[in-house]
Amino acid sequence: MANQSPDSVFGGSIPELYDTLLVPMIFEPYAADLTARLASRHPERVLEIAAGTGAVTRAMALALPEHASITATDLNQPMLDYASTVGSRRPVDWRQADALQLPFPDDQFDAVVCQFGAMFFPDKVKAFSEARRVLQPGGVLLFNVWDRIENNEFADIVTRSLEKIFPDDPPRFLRRTPHGYCDSELIRGDLARAGFTRKPEISIVTSRSRAASPRIPAVAYCRGTPLSNEITARDPSRVDDSIDAAAEAIAARFGNGAVDGKIQALVVTIEV
C-alpha cells in the first residue's frame, strides 16, 4: 500500500461525501442491478472487492437470504470504516484487503462482486486472477465499470469545466481512471489472461443521474472523489473555484433547478 496511486486514495472527507452525494446520484441504480443479477444465482458465500462505502454491500444484505455470508473488502480503510459505521441490515464481515493479494484460500467463494472498482486496479489481470483463485468451480465474477466519459454527462461536464480553471494542466482523474477502462475487447483479453476460459457476458446498462441542483454533482465529483486530491495538488486555493465552475457548466446544460443526466456502464459476468 506504500505505492498506492493517488487515484486510489479515498481519505479525509471523501468517504462521507462519496456516500451521501455520489452513492444516491450514480451508484444506487447499478448496485440494484448487480444485486439482482447476483441474487438470481442463489450464492452461499459472497466476496465483495473494492466495496467502498458499501452501496452494493447494503443492497446484498437486503436481497440475499440470511444464510448467505457476505465478506466486504476494500483497500482503503477509511471507506470501510465509514461503511461499517453506516452499517447494513444484517452482519457483514468488513475486511481491509488488496484485490491483488486477497487474504483468502482457494475455492472459498461461489461469487465475487465488484462495483466500479476494477478501473482502479493497477494490475487488472492480477486482480482478476485473484478473483478466479478464490472462486470455487462453477462460481461467478460479477462486476461493472463505467462506460466512456462522453456517455456520462455530469462527469464529462465537470472534467471539461476544470480546463478553464487549470488550462495548462487540467485534472483528468475522471477521464483517466473511473472512465478509463471501458474497452470490451480489452476486458475480455484481461479476463482470459487471468485464467478465465469461458467467454464473459458484457451488457451495456444505461440509467439516469439526478440531483436537486447543479451544485450537488459539482461538489460530489470535486470533493467526494480523488479528483479532490488532484485539484488540491494543483492549487488548494482553487477548490471552491473548481466547484463553482462545474456547477455553472452543469446549470448551463441542464438548468438551475433539479438536474437529470445520462449515466452508462458495462456489466460483466463470467463463470469459472
Please give the CATH superfamily to which domain 6-148+173-208+264-271 belongs: Vaccinia Virus protein VP39 (3.40.50.150)
Tens digits of per-residue pLDDT, 46-100? 999 999 999 999 999 999 999 999 999 999 999 999 999 998 989 999 999 999 9
Per-residue pLDDT band for 12 (boundaries 50, 70, 90) equals confident
CA distance 162 to 170: 6
Q: What is the mean pLDDT of the chain?
A: 95
Contacts with 9 (C-beta within 8 Å, 6 or more apart), sequence order: 76, 226, 229
- The structural domains of the chain, with segments of one domain joined by +, span 6-148+173-208+264-271
CA distance 180 to 210: 23
Question: Would you call 49 helix, strand, or coil by DSSP?
Answer: coil
H-assigned helices in the chain: 14-17, 28-39, 55-63, 77-86, 124-134, 153-165, 173-176, 184-193, 215-223, 227-234, 239-254
Distance of CA 134 to the CA centre of its chain: 21
Tens digits of per-residue pLDDT, 200-256? 999 999 999 999 999 999 999 999 999 999 999 999 999 999 999 999 999 999 999
CA distance 113 to 49: 6
